[in-house]
Amino acid sequence: MKVILVTVLSIVFLCSGCSSNIKEEQKSIKICSSLNETMTDILAEDFAKQQNVKVEVRHFPAGNLDERLNFLREGKFDVWLGGTPEEYYLAGEQKMLRSYRPREAYKVPAEMRENQWRWTGLYVDYIGFLTNRDRLRELGLYAPETWDELLKPELWEETALADFKNGGRSYGMITSIWQLRGEAKAMEYAASFNSQLPLYTASEWEAIEAVRSGRKTIAVVSLSTALQLERQNRDLFATLVKDGNKNCITGAAILQGANLAEAQSFMDYLLSEHSKDLLASKGYPLLWRVSDYAHDDGRKMMIGDLELAVDDLSWTAGQKSVIIQQWLNAQ
């Protein structure tokens, strides 16, 4: 596991009339991150320089959610960066999170935060398809834009997606279809999808690699990731799922027992225009900020009039293992 220490030298003051130097005690913050390492490092290093704070970053290890929540407890972290609403819901049920209303809280729509401010959304994404152009031509198909298009006979054994239990966009596929269509029709769809024999991978990036290499035609992924890969590789094509999508929120939360002043300062920093502009300048221009949700014309033009599911977190988070098992058992 990679540990990053970002430090800024403490300011040394000379005592007037004294021969000894006195060092100001440096502030510190300990962050556990679910974001990718590059994004996390960009934010941590910049915050450290701006605030003259020692920042220690650890990234979530592999494992199920219970194991990861135990890692949070044992690590005595101040802030959890990059979690999802489902994860924060379960952590909140276990009394692990501390409420904080950030300085620029007025920018955050109510549906993109917890009502007691135990977690706050930072970015919003959607579910997309990444397709291999050469494979599409061989199959004589257009790039799919709906879940139902994945059921075409030509796409038997041609879809890759991350294992549902790892959450992310693949689990969002289940919950969106289920909540928008109802249980009976969702189970009908699940039976048809199961018969297509999709490839389940350990991570979204493994599903992407299966498509990039030409072993599979389609991967279920984050829309922003698909768009970025399309820009980098002419053989790949990104589409938005139009018949059942969701606001895929990435957020941040302060943990119980946190070094409160620094943790609150970091939450304010994450919602600032400065951090948004910084990430865009470092190669992440396709992140849709929660604070821009209401007036981001580029995002609106991209998604149009999407059919979006509104998650019932007590169901999507609290019943996750049951939901997945029902889906996989559908015949």
Q: How far apart are CA 252 and CA 267, in angstroms?
A: 7
Please state the pTM of the whole predicted model. 0.85
Per-residue confidence (pLDDT) for residue 263, from 0 to 100:
96
**What is the token pair recorded at 278?**
């910084």
Look at residues 216, 59, 209 and name the one whose alpha carbon lies nearest to residue 150.
216
Per-residue confidence (pLDDT) for residue 60, from 0 to 100:
87
DSSP state, 59?
E
What is the number of other CB atoms lying within 10 angstroms of the CB of residue 57? 25
CB 158 within 8 A of CB 135: yes
Per-residue confidence (pLDDT) for residue 12, from 0 to 100:
35
Per-residue confidence (pLDDT) for residue 137, from 0 to 100:
96
Q: pLDDT 10s per residue in the chain (331 long)? A: 445 554 443 333 333 444 444 455 778 999 999 988 999 999 999 999 999 999 999 998 877 788 889 999 999 999 999 999 999 999 999 999 999 999 988 888 888 899 999 999 999 999 999 999 999 999 999 999 999 999 999 999 999 999 998 778 999 999 999 999 999 999 999 999 999 999 999 989 999 999 999 999 999 999 989 998 999 999 999 999 999 999 999 999 999 998 999 999 999 999 998 998 898 898 876 567 777 766 666 566 666 777 888 899 999 999 999 999 999 999 8
